[in-house]
Structure 1
Amino acid sequence: MLNKDIRKHFPILGQEINGHPLVYLDSAATSQKPTQVIDAISDYYKFDNSNVHRGVHTLGNRATEAYEGARDKVRTFINAKSREEIIFTRGTTTALNIVAQSYGRANVDEGDEIVITYMEHHSNIIPWQQLAKEKGAVLKYVELEDDGTLSLDKVREVVTDRTKIVSIMHVSNVLGTINPIKEITEIAHAHGAVMVVDGAQAAPHLKVDVESLNCDFYAFSGHKMAGPTGIGVLYGKKGLLNAMEPVEFGGEMIDFVGLYESTWKELPWKFEGGTPIIAGAVGLGAAIDYLEEIGLDNIERHEHQLAAYALERFAKIDGLTVYGPLDADKRAGVITFNVEGVHPHDLATVLDMHGIAVRAGHHCAQPLMKWLDVSATARASFYVYNTEEDVDRLVDGLQIAKEYFNDDN
């Protein structure tokens, strides 16, 4: 397990909620931010605030160095070949939409196929729905196994020579399932399709190597990995990005503007129209420094141990159903569950009364909720600052809620 002193890096965790010490178990929605990241953003605004790429004055040079330095950190973090393959976006959603609107519109035709799964987040469903409607393409789904995992045999059954795009999340934000992206990429490429990966729940928690995965696009957000909101990353192979058209036009992304024609800057800037998310990039760079100092392997191991411990404790609670793999080796630090006789929102409300923050609802995964045959679930998600004591507090809170709502039984 990671050193419990890590909690001291996160000032928000020092408070009490409803008279109880805060237990934050909603990192899959957004992670908390360490002092190192908060200070980096604050120092940028205090000392270096300026627009980037344009000015020749000292503040402009400092801001540009910080912004482009963050790009270099991202490149190393995911092991991309080139910094030109790193596009800063507003988040995972924006990144996936860029792929759908730029690559998809140019390469998907009537009758072509787009393949996703039932476990996808809405951000990895709706862009493909819209593209399929616009182009007359066929949107196909890979069914899940009973334990919420993906079978490569079923992927092979669904992906065909008509498939142009396969887009699958690396880690499920509901089931915690870690998907075999490298193997799925091989299947997609064997049929001439590109592989798009929603990495929002993976990049914060395990080592991502896009060269090893060989995926064509990889998207993730800063706010789920100890960074600020409003900043994300689209990785794309250089050849694909070079061939793609921008989807947002204006300042920063142009080379030459005439009265009737314009040309674009080279990569990566042709996809970054307008004043970029400078402070967000600075914060993301600081978050990467922080996570790499801890070590992604250590983070993955820590969360795996917490998930295994939570599954062990949950198994002893009568009437509690866990969704997704029960084998901790097949999942990340996300556990979604329901307690018999207690609506997830009521459950989350009772837990909040005891200072425990969990998520309740459909988790932006309504097709998956339908597949699970539930309207909503509760979700506990772990990160570097969580401990076994947090799990114990959660279990105690679940018992209190269970007794409160079922005291007539």
Structure 2
Amino acid sequence: MASEPPAKKKCLGSDCSNEAGALQCPTCLKLGIKDSFFCSQECFKRNWSEHKSMHKTQSNLLHHFVAPKAISPDAVTGYYNPFPSFPFAGPLRPVYPLSEHRTVPKSIPHPTWWQDGDPKYSRSLINRNKIDIHDAKGIAAMRKVCRLAREVLDLAAAAAKPGVTTDYIDELVHKACIERESYPSPLNYNHFPKSCCTSVNEVICHGIPDQRVLLDGDILNIDISLYHGGYHADLNETYYIGDRAKADPDSVRVVEAARESLDEAIKAVKPGVLIREFGNIIEKVAKQKDCSVIRTYCGHGVGKLFHCPPNVPHYAKNKAVGECKPGMTFTIEPMVALGKYRDITWPDNWTSTTIDGKRTAQFEHTLLVTEDGCEILTARLPDSPGGPVPMPEKKVDGAAA
């Protein structure tokens, strides 16, 4: 009797329904992940930002987060660069050791990854294009968790001053989450070691809070995510540290380009608008300010799951699947750079920087699509720290132009 033909493999592209071809992700092969096939090179590249999360999970499950010490820690401070031979793209360096792992009281509900680091659902192929529509109860829960997340971000931003370490900011964030009976969503997510992301200067995203002191002239993105009442919130902003950053035309240009691009994209959110349209708006604003848009990372659905459909690319002419419908909640979080849009990742497997070491900025809101527009669930409050800064006047021979 003839044997049954083998089952056809489905392409892993989240926005694709094609049958898989022979192209398999090379990183998956190195990590021992089987059956990660795509229908084409174009589909693989388009879905890379989402697919690579599988690598983080598998790699960290095998190795966990253990940073090797440099040969000679500073004799006075005990601090060290854990990756002394890495070809960093810019002047920023990690400053270790990291502080002790922070814990959350068991009385506060924990997400699935709190113990083993594996979000579990991130590799599921079930309903990968299904976008959740919240009912009235879900919308109320999202409004609450997003309000709490805004409170925590504002507390962190108020503390972001010259002389403060990013680890201190992480400590404040962790305590503020607990005070609000919330779990900081990043903590142990794919083994991320801290409760928030702090991305300085050339760091695009996923910066790990450490012992580096913030300097007058830095720009700092603080990314906050909370889990409360069974729902997640997600938001971030980039802040000027001290006064020197506000006087630096390039720093102001990139920060305000990121801020404006998000604001303009949000104006377009309403039922019927295609998800792919936001990237066209964002890249137009960025180009007007002579900046580029990072392509590796994208916005995402957020709610009962930390990251879920839809994917929201920030660059023009993308092929994102889906359209806005009332009850959807998702983030738009453009990352804009002064130089090239390409990125590199430090050996910590998280910190992503621009490939040329030039500065980059990001802003993010969690949005609810309403019947006639959208509601910014993580909107700034009247007393929120930060905010827009005007372009400094150009100097000509020491005088204002």
Q: Give the TM-score, by structure 2 length.
A: 0.22
Structure 1 length-normalised TM: 0.22
More helix by share: 1
Higher relative contact order (CA 8 A, sep 6+): 1
